[in-house]
Each structure stands twice: as C-alpha cells, then as structure tokens.
Structure 1
Amino acid sequence: MTRNPEILSINCTSCGAGLDVLGGGRVVVQICPYCGSELDVQDNYRTLRQFKGLTRPKTPFSIGMTGALYGVDFTIIGLIEHSERWGGRFYTWIDHQLYSPTHGYAWLTLEAGHLVFTRRHRGPGWISERAVEISEYPPIVRVNGERFVYFETTTSSITYVEGEFTWRPEIGEQTTTISAMSDAAMLGFCTTGSERESYRSIYVPRKTVEDAFDVQLDQKPFRVHPLEPFVAGPNYGFVLFASCVFAIICLFMSFVFASRTGEDVLGAHVLTRADLPAEITFPLEADSQLTRISFSADVRNSWAYLDLELLDPDDTPVFLAGRTIEYYSGRDADGSWSEGSRRANLSFRPERTGDYTLTVDVPDQGVWTGPGASSVQSYPFNQLMINVRSGLSSSLWTLALAGGFGLLFLLQFGRKWLHQRARWSGTDWVDED
C-alpha cells in the first residue's frame, strides 16, 4: 500500500510524538527523532525497529526547514550522519535529504564547514573497485563532454538517522563510494550491499545556503574542499593577461637596450706596467646615454687592483673608483678549475660635452703561488687594455619591470595553481614508479 497523500502529520506509533509528513509518495520509512523508532510508511506507520542510544550530530539544519536552491523550493525531510576511518582518523559528514514536489529528491551535505548539493545521476559511466585496482593511471569517465578523473575510494558507515527516507537505512550499514572529479563537479559511484547508485555533486557557496534556509553557519572551513571553486576576483583575467603581456614587452625592450653596442670613443688603448700611472684623454657628448669604460689585463694566477679617477672638461671629478682584476686556475683531486675574471668595467652618464681625463694606477697587485696552480708568472700582469664606448643603453630598469610584471603574473597564476593543488591533495591515488 502507499501513503495517503493527504496525511500531513502523524503520531509516532511507538512514543506518541507528533511528526510532520513532508517527503512525498516515494518515502518508505520515517524514523522518529524522539525515540529512534523506524516506522513503516506503507503499513500505517507500524513500528519496525528502534535505533537506541544515538547521539544527534550538530547541524544548523532541522527537519521541516525550507529553502530555494538553484531555483527549486526544497524541504529538509531527513538527515543521516556518516563516519569513515582513514589514516588513523575519523571523518564525519551529515547528509540532509531534500524533497521538492516538482523536482524530487536531493541531498545537502555538510562536511568540515563546506556544503555540497547532490542529486542522483542517471547518465552513463561507472568506475568499479576492480577498475581502480588494475589501472596504471587514474580511471577517467566522460559524461556529456565533461571529463571526470578518479579521486578516491571511501567506505563509510551510517552512525545516525532521523526523518523520512525513500529506502530503509540501517545503523552501521557500509557504503563504498568511488569518486571521480571534474573542474566543477564530482561523480560518486556508490555500492551498498547489492545496490548500486550514481550521484553527481557540486559545491554550494555558504552564503547561498544561509540566504536560502535563513540560517547562520558558525562552522569555519579549515581546508579547501575538493569541489570548492577557485574565486578569481573581478579583475583576475585582465591582470593575468596584462601582466604576462607587459612582462614580455619589457623583456623585449631589455633585449633591445642590451643589444645596443654603442660606438668606440677609445678603442683598445694598451698600457704596459711601465706606463703606469697613466692619464688618458677622450671626448664625450653629454647625450644622457651610458658610457662604459672597460679594462682587461693578462693576469694569470695573479691579481691587480686598479685605482681610477675621471675628470670632466672642467677638471671636476666625475668619480673616484677602484676595480680588481684577478684570475686563478689549477688542478686538484676533482680535476681542473678556474675562478675570477680578466675583465672589469664601470659605467656613467657624461653631463658635459668635451674632453674627459682618466687617471689609472695600480697601487696593489700580487701573484698566487698556491698548491695546484697551473702556472706562475713573474709579474701579476704585463699589459692593461682600456676601451671606452658611448651611446649605450641600460636594460636594468626594463628588466626590473619585467620581473615585477612576471611576479604579478606568477602570483595570479600561482593562486589558481595552488587552489587546484589543494583540491586534489585529498586524492588517494599514488603513482608507482
């Protein structure tokens, strides 16, 4: 027999408590929240059995609450608490069964402060435990063009029941669920005894549920849920695209600036040790472009410290500076090695047009005669070559801008990447080498 659709409330046939009838014609049992009695809806609410000693889980939702989700008015008609032991810890979640006279049955699940909306999936596709065990790669299911990748296998037990249900739940009843996830949804392939069902779940924003059911959720999510969508923000796409484009533009500008070789003002001017200290004069234009003075010496397992002074056309010092040129090489137990450089340089921007005078001296120098030295020469160096080029451009600032835009791009891209990584962190798939 089926339940009379005109019945809106009953009294529990075990304890006499008044119970609302909310769940539609497919309900087969109703479990009294007061005494735990399971009542047979199809047999005048005859008491079938009692679930004693159950502790009601903490949930902000109660049976009889109504709310609109995705444009459909639902009523909460029952709740089930599930528990799973994995990795030495217990995980619990609460399924709230929903009913709509026009759209049938659904679930609203509360797990670790997150909310998930689930409906039965009647489309194609199934992943079995055997398929997971023998697969070298995570099994994949495609449904209506959506790609679902294996996520995890769970075995949970029912620890609390209350309300109306379209089947007969049992305390301790175990369900094995194989989950596969896409970018926006999850398919659950559930096996309970000999029964098999498929479900499709999506994430529900907290505020959506609070507004729908007029409740306040005091539970704070402590991790990213596998179905939780990435919150990009209103300008995410623009910032991601713009930062990438500007980083490329700045890198190209840096390449252009760095490739400008300028022109020789003083080319390959050679000084011997006997010529030092020496003064060298060369003309420069005050064109706001860089001028680079380059030095190279034939040091070998030796070093030389250059004392440098540059005067402008008005004999005003432009700079007093020092540069060290050193180069060492040899062999040891690990083979040949070398370090240092035979070159040095400094750059500046001339502020006046005219003849500049560079004074060069080598007040300090030396030869290294350590063990393993490849060769030792009598003097630290024999000659010093000086070259002056003007009309150069610096790529420093455009490189800095490229780095800044690149960091902004990585920050935006990294936010999404980290979110995706957090979503998949709970998978139990392990790649075996």
Structure 2
Amino acid sequence: MQALLLLLGLCLIISLWALMRQRRLTAQAQHHCKQANHQAEETSAELKQLINAASTLVFIVDEHMNIITWNQFAAHISGYDRTELARQAWCHLFTGSEGQDSIDKIIQSVLAGHEATHIELSMTAKDGNIIDIMLNAYPRHNSHGKVTGVISVGQDITALNISKAQTIQASKLATLGEMSTSMAHELNQPLNVMRMALGNCRRKLEKGNTDLEYYLSKVDRVDSQITRMASIVDHMRMFGRKASESFEPLDLREIIEGAFSLMSETLRLAGIEVIRDICADPLPVMGHRIQVEQVLLNLISNAKDAMNSRINLQQKTLHISVECDDTQVIIRLEDNGGGLPEDKINRIFEPFFTTKEAGHGTGLGLSISYVIIKDMHGTITAENTAAGARFTITLPTVQAEPVSTDISDANKTDANKADANKADSGVEHGR
C-alpha cells in the first residue's frame, strides 16, 4: 500500500512537472509569436512608409484588375482620392501605343507569370492631363505560389519626353542651318534654268519671233522649275515642324528619296557618287516621317564630312542598301571615308560625344538618331569596313513585333580592319 501511494505521488509530480513545462513552453511560444507579429507589423509599417515615400507610382491589383493598394505618389499624380481609386480598374488608367490592346497584352503576360519591364504607357489623370509613364509590372503571388494579381511600379517620364522632344527639335533646326548652303545650291539651279529660258524668250521677242509653241515650251519649263522650287521649300518647311505625338504608317522608300533629294546638290559638289540598292517592295514601318529623315540626313552628312576629310581619296562613294521581309527592314549606309576610331567606336551613340574637331560637331546627332530609332522599336549599329564605316538601321515592319533595342547591341565593331585603306590619308573621321 505504501509503495502504491509512493508510485501515485511520483506520477502526480511528473504530471505537474510536465504541465508546468508545457505552460512554460506555451508562454514562450506566445511570447515569440507576439514578438514576431510585432516585428511583422513594424516591417509592414516601414514597407508602407518606404512605398509612400517613393517618387514612383505603385499599384497592387487583383486578378480582376481591381486596385487593392497604391501609394501616395500614385494618388497625387493621378488626382484621384482613396474612394475614387478603390473604384477604378487599373487597366482603365493607362493607354499603350496600340490603345487598350497594349494593356491587355501586358495583363495577360503578367498573369501568366511573366514580368513586363520598361513599357512606356500614357496615364489619364482625373483632370484629363496625359502623363507619360515607364512601367514595370510583376506577378503577385499568394503563399502557395499562385498568381493572384499584378504589382506595377511606374516612373513619370513626362518631363523627360518633353526634354527629349525639344532636343530632337533643336537638333533638327541645327541640321537645317547646316543644310542652308545645300539649299542655296538646290534653289539656284532652277533659278538659272528660268533665267536662261526667259533670256532666250527676250532675244526671240526682240527679233520679232512670234513662234507661240516655242514660248509655250519655255513657259512650261519655267513652270516646272517653279514647281521644283516650291517642292524644296515645302520639304524644308515640313522638316522644320515638330513631329506629331503619335506614330503613323510610313514608306521608307519615300523618306530615303526625300533625304537624298535634299542632299543631292551638296553630295554632287563634294564629288560623292551615291549608289542605291533598295528593294522594290514597299517598306512599311510606323514612326515619324521627319524624325526618320533627320536620322538619314545626319548619317549622310557625317559620311560626306568623313570622305571630305580624306585628302588623298580619289573616288568618294556612298552606298545605301535596303533589305526587307515580312518582319523587318534593314537599311545600311556605307562610305569609304576611312572608318571610325577603334578606341571610340563604342561611345559614338553617347550624348555630347564627338570625334570631330572642336567647333565641328555637337555630339548630339548620333545620340538623337539612336533615341529616334529606339523609340520606333528598332536598332542602329556602327561598324568599320575595309574602306570606311557602315551604319545599320533595323526597324520592324508594320505587321511585325518590335525588335530588341538593348543599348549593348548598339555599338559593334566589324572584325575586318581597314588598315590598308586608312593609310591613304592617315585620317580617321569623326561623326
């Protein structure tokens, strides 16, 4: 009996010890849980403060594109208050280059688990103002890894785009100034033709000649020259205008012909032979006509300067070739002006970088050309050939998807060095 009581007492002591231990462990677990919750709350509060302090737009939306969370900058720039944003569909705030189709493509891609980065969109604020946004969108996952929405982060690039447009316009006007001599020659030629035609008419009239057909032919000749002059002036006036904000369908053949038409007299006086190898099919792309022409004029002018800098160059040749298929158009402009400096070729698309002598280049031409082509979802690259330099522009056709515009692909150096031809003058030209 005494042994039984001893055993029961021992069991009671063990049970009490186990109970106390369990309570102690439970209290510790509750304390740790409370600490973890407190830390989580602090982390969440810090994260909210960080997001609200950011000068970027942040929207978190569910799979139905209902806005769940946003930061103060998003509310400020959109102009909507908390209640209004809660009623907004995220996809209705933005517009892409292809309208709502652009937004739908982004949503479908992100909800499928992909990231969408560096997408330029337009956001319509409450007051109707259009704000340019550079957007990155990422899948939003739950604890099981399922995609439950979209996390979007956007940067307001309105001021940047305005500055870019102003720089392009300033460069275009600078190009007009550089082309003034060329335009004087272009206009002087039809003026000389008209002067000769009118002089012939005067001499005929002084001799009493009444051949009506002769005079009518001279009138037609003068009229055709006036039409040509008007065309040149209209072209220059159109070139000086600001480009429209939206892209439009273009035929690159017309733009190429227009650019060479503006430079034809300058190239002729410089003794430069132009070789054209352009495919006969239409070359449909989307972009700004004047800006594309600006790129071509810059490349043509650079090639001219390069060839003129080679004192001993007997034959100056500018070769333009255009290839096209269902997806892209490839334009190659090649000269025999000695090539680009090998140690600087990788920097020629940088703003304010030039290899020309002081006072002979702003360093903006190729940089702006790069921006224009990139905005058209294309690429522009430079490389040296055996005799000079080759610039290659690749643009997607109207029906095709945009090609890569990674700046790391912008500067390429051809493996073929031009030592023999560069020895003609010992001069490497600037761009």
TM-score band by shorter chain is: under 0.3
Please tell me whether Structure 1 or Structure 2 has the larger radius of gyration of its CA atoms. Answer: 1
TM-score by length of 1: 0.19
The structure in which a higher percent of residues are helix is 2
